[in-house]
Structure formats: C-alpha cells, structure tokens
C-alpha cells in the first residue's frame, strides 16, 4: 500500500519448489521507459513545467568506452521538433527525455532519484539513464512509484505489519512506514 509500504502480495516466480529465486526481490532488470517519470519529476523540481519546450531532434554522441557513436531514436523512428514536456512524457519520447536529463544534469538527477529510494551509486552516469538503463529490482521500482501514489512521501516496503503470540499478545510491530526525505532505506 503506498500510504504505509505494506505489501499485500508478490509473485516472485512460478513454483518455489522449482526455483527459489524471487524475481521481485532479487532479479535486476532495466526498467526502460517506466523510469522516465522519475527523470521528469527531477526536472519539475528544478523549475521545468509541463509546458516547457524540449527539442525532439536527432542527437549523436560518443558512446563511453566503446569508441562508437550513440544515435538514440524514438520508437517511431521520427523526430517531432519542439515538444512540451507533457507530450514528451505522455508519448514516451526518448530524445525529449535524453535532452531533459542533459539540461538538468546527470549529477542532479541521480541525487534527486535517491528521494525515491534508488541507490545513487547504482545509477549509470550517462544519458542512457533517461531511457531506464539502470538495473533495478522490481520491488525498488514499485517503491519509487509508491512515492508518487503517496503524494510525494516515500514509504519503505515491508512484508510483516505485526506478529502476535499464541495468546494474542503483540510481540512485534513493524516500525516501517513513511520515510523522511533525508532517510535512506
């Protein structure tokens, strides 16, 4: 639940007897475009608005470490020129997201992403971050989205709210819930 971080259920695999690997809590996946709202959120916090214009135009950059050129495109293989942020996000335009990250700065974005619970040391320090190239566990992504759903307040996911003994006496109550903006999970 986004308001307190309690987890009602999760499905980490097909059959626990066949594989003990929990894909929700253990697998690392690239979130792709589902990561873009976090970049846009950082831009809004830095003073951009939904009406801000970003040029959706071709870009060519050196690809770090591979001595090749990086030519990101939109999935439509088209470019749309000056585009409002609201349209760039709604249409998931890759080049708008890349240029937006370039405008706000990668260090600023990575620092801002820590507010959602993302480990800044695990974030790529290239513009591919705008396209969701970070490796995250699905539960981490859900924690980030819970911050949006909870009005901007981060919560720490937890599996157990409380434990009672055989007499009904409480022996454990979760201390998880809202996390302050300075706290780290």
Q: What is the pLDDT of residue 64?
A: 64
Helical H segments across the chain, by residue range: 36-45, 85-90, 94-104, 106-113, 138-149
Rounded Cα–Cα distance for residues 73 and 118 (Å): 26
Rounded Cα–Cα distance for residues 67 and 17 (Å): 46
CA-based end-to-end distance of the chain: 17
Rounded Cα–Cα distance for residues 18 and 182 (Å): 41
Does residue 105 carry a pLDDT above 60?
yes
Does residue 163 carry a pLDDT above 50?
yes
Q: Tens digit of pLDDT for each residue in 42-101?
A: 999 999 999 999 999 888 887 666 668 888 888 888 899 999 999 999 999 999 999 999
Q: What is the pLDDT of residue 159?
A: 84
Rounded Cα–Cα distance for residues 173 and 185 (Å): 18
At which residue do the structure tokens 């608005």 appear?
49
CA distances from 50 to 40, 83, 84, 106, 180 (A): 9, 10, 7, 20, 27
Rounded Cα–Cα distance for residues 138 and 31 (Å): 8
């Amino acid at each position: 639940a986004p308001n307190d971080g309690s987890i009602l259920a999760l499905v980490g695999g097909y059959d626990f007897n066949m594989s003990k690997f929990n894909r929700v809590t253990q697998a690392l996946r690239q979130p792709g475009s589902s990561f873009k709202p976090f970049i846009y959120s950082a831009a809004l916090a830095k003073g951009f608005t939904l009406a801000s214009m970003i040029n959706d135009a071709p870009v060519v950059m050196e690809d770090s470490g591979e001595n090749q050129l990086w030519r990101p495109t939109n999935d439509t293989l088209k470019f749309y020129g000056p585009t409002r942020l609201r349209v760039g996000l709604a249409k998931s335009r890759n080049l708008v997201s890349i240029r937006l990250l370039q405008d706000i700065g990668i260090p600023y974005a990575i620092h801002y992403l820590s507010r959602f619970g993302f480990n800044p040391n695990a974030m790529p320090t290239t513009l591919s971050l705008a396209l969701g190239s970070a490796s995250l566990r699905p539960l981490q992504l859900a924690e980030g989205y819970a911050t949006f759903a909870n009005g901007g307040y981060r919560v720490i996911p937890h599996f157990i709210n409380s434990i009672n003994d055989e007499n009904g006496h409480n022996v454990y109550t979760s201390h998880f819930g809202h996390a302050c903006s300075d706290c780290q999970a």
